[in-house]
Amino acid sequence: MAKLRHIAISVPDPEAAAAFFEKAFGMWRAGDAQRGVYVTDGVINVALLNFKDEPVPGGFPKGYAGIIHFGMWVDDLDADGAKIAAAGGTYLTGRKETNPNVYYEVKYKTPDNIVFDITETGWKGAAKNVVPAAD
Protein backbone atom coordinates (compact mmCIF):
# COMPACT_ATOMS: atom_id res chain seq x y z
CA MET A 1 0.00 0.00 0.00
CA ALA A 2 1.26 3.51 -0.83
CA LYS A 3 2.18 5.78 2.09
CA LEU A 4 2.51 9.56 2.14
CA ARG A 5 6.23 10.33 2.36
CA HIS A 6 6.69 13.62 0.42
CA ILE A 7 5.15 17.06 0.51
CA ALA A 8 6.19 19.91 -1.79
CA ILE A 9 5.68 23.46 -0.55
CA SER A 10 6.23 26.64 -2.53
CA VAL A 11 7.99 29.22 -0.31
CA PRO A 12 9.52 32.67 -0.92
CA ASP A 13 12.79 31.75 0.84
CA PRO A 14 13.73 28.04 0.98
CA GLU A 15 16.65 28.62 3.38
CA ALA A 16 14.46 30.49 5.89
CA ALA A 17 11.72 27.86 5.54
CA ALA A 18 14.28 25.06 6.11
CA ALA A 19 15.53 26.84 9.25
CA PHE A 20 11.93 26.99 10.53
CA PHE A 21 11.34 23.25 9.94
CA GLU A 22 14.66 22.42 11.61
CA LYS A 23 14.01 24.58 14.67
CA ALA A 24 10.27 23.97 15.12
CA PHE A 25 10.11 20.24 14.31
CA GLY A 26 13.67 18.91 14.64
CA MET A 27 13.81 18.01 10.95
CA TRP A 28 17.12 17.98 9.10
CA ARG A 29 18.32 18.69 5.59
CA ALA A 30 18.17 15.75 3.21
CA GLY A 31 19.78 17.65 0.32
CA ASP A 32 19.42 20.40 -2.23
CA ALA A 33 16.48 20.52 -4.63
CA GLN A 34 16.61 22.11 -8.07
CA ARG A 35 14.72 25.14 -6.71
CA GLY A 36 15.34 24.85 -2.98
CA VAL A 37 15.96 22.47 -0.10
CA TYR A 38 14.77 19.04 1.02
CA VAL A 39 14.17 18.47 4.74
CA THR A 40 13.12 15.24 6.43
CA ASP A 41 12.16 13.65 9.71
CA GLY A 42 13.46 10.28 8.52
CA VAL A 43 10.06 9.20 7.19
CA ILE A 44 8.59 12.16 5.27
CA ASN A 45 10.49 14.24 2.70
CA VAL A 46 9.44 17.88 2.39
CA ALA A 47 10.58 19.92 -0.62
CA LEU A 48 10.78 23.66 0.12
CA LEU A 49 10.82 25.29 -3.31
CA ASN A 50 10.96 28.79 -4.80
CA PHE A 51 9.67 29.02 -8.38
CA LYS A 52 10.60 32.73 -8.67
CA ASP A 53 8.92 34.11 -11.82
CA GLU A 54 7.63 30.74 -13.03
CA PRO A 55 4.08 29.52 -12.48
CA VAL A 56 3.92 27.03 -9.62
CA PRO A 57 2.99 23.53 -10.89
CA GLY A 58 -0.59 22.53 -10.21
CA GLY A 59 -2.23 25.62 -11.66
CA PHE A 60 -1.17 28.03 -8.92
CA PRO A 61 -0.32 31.58 -9.98
CA LYS A 62 3.19 33.02 -10.05
CA GLY A 63 4.27 33.94 -6.55
CA TYR A 64 1.95 31.43 -4.85
CA ALA A 65 3.39 30.22 -1.54
CA GLY A 66 2.11 27.14 0.22
CA ILE A 67 -0.18 24.15 0.19
CA ILE A 68 -3.63 23.93 1.71
CA HIS A 69 -2.19 22.60 4.96
CA PHE A 70 -0.12 19.81 6.42
CA GLY A 71 -0.25 18.01 9.73
CA MET A 72 2.36 17.20 12.38
CA TRP A 73 1.84 14.50 15.03
CA VAL A 74 3.55 15.78 18.21
CA ASP A 75 4.29 14.43 21.69
CA ASP A 76 3.29 17.48 23.75
CA LEU A 77 1.04 20.26 22.45
CA ASP A 78 2.31 22.85 24.91
CA ALA A 79 6.03 22.13 24.45
CA ASP A 80 5.73 21.87 20.68
CA GLY A 81 3.55 24.98 20.53
CA ALA A 82 6.32 26.87 22.35
CA LYS A 83 8.91 25.59 19.84
CA ILE A 84 6.68 26.69 16.97
CA ALA A 85 6.31 30.18 18.45
CA ALA A 86 10.07 30.42 19.09
CA ALA A 87 10.68 29.55 15.43
CA GLY A 88 8.34 32.35 14.29
CA GLY A 89 5.08 30.41 13.90
CA THR A 90 1.73 31.79 15.06
CA TYR A 91 -1.33 30.14 16.63
CA LEU A 92 -4.58 30.25 14.62
CA THR A 93 -7.29 28.15 16.22
CA GLY A 94 -8.13 24.91 17.99
CA ARG A 95 -7.46 23.36 21.36
CA LYS A 96 -6.70 20.03 22.98
CA GLU A 97 -9.75 18.03 23.97
CA THR A 98 -9.79 16.40 27.41
CA ASN A 99 -12.11 13.65 26.14
CA PRO A 100 -9.76 10.94 24.75
CA ASN A 101 -12.47 9.86 22.29
CA VAL A 102 -12.62 13.28 20.60
CA TYR A 103 -10.39 13.97 17.60
CA TYR A 104 -8.80 17.43 17.50
CA GLU A 105 -6.23 19.58 15.69
CA VAL A 106 -4.58 22.84 16.75
CA LYS A 107 -3.86 25.09 13.77
CA TYR A 108 -0.84 27.36 13.34
CA LYS A 109 0.86 29.32 10.56
CA THR A 110 4.53 29.25 9.56
CA PRO A 111 6.38 32.58 9.13
CA ASP A 112 5.44 32.30 5.41
CA ASN A 113 1.72 32.04 6.35
CA ILE A 114 1.39 28.34 5.50
CA VAL A 115 -1.34 26.74 7.61
CA PHE A 116 -0.59 23.50 9.47
CA ASP A 117 -2.01 21.61 12.39
CA ILE A 118 -0.57 19.65 15.30
CA THR A 119 -2.13 16.92 17.40
CA GLU A 120 -1.08 14.44 20.06
CA THR A 121 -3.66 11.90 18.89
CA GLY A 122 -2.74 11.66 15.22
CA TRP A 123 -4.93 11.03 12.21
CA LYS A 124 -6.89 7.92 11.35
CA GLY A 125 -4.78 5.69 9.16
CA ALA A 126 -1.50 7.42 10.06
CA ALA A 127 1.33 5.75 11.97
CA LYS A 128 3.28 7.93 14.38
CA ASN A 129 6.22 5.64 15.07
CA VAL A 130 7.75 4.25 11.89
CA VAL A 131 11.22 2.73 11.67
CA PRO A 132 13.08 4.41 8.77
CA ALA A 133 14.76 2.12 6.25
CA ALA A 134 18.54 1.80 6.50
CA ASP A 135 20.55 4.01 4.13
Sheet holding 90-93, edge to edge: 70-73, 115-119, 106-109, 90-93
Q: Could you tell me which CATH class the domain 71-124 is placed in? A: alpha beta
Q: Where are the domains of the chain?
A: 1-53, 71-124
Tell me if 1-53 shares its fold with 71-124. yes
The architecture CATH gives domain 1-53: Roll (3.10)
Residue of 3, 7, 4 whose CA lies nearest to 46: 7
pLDDT in tens, 23-62: 999 999 999 988 999 998 888 889 999 999 887 776 778 8
Confidence (pLDDT) at 39: 93
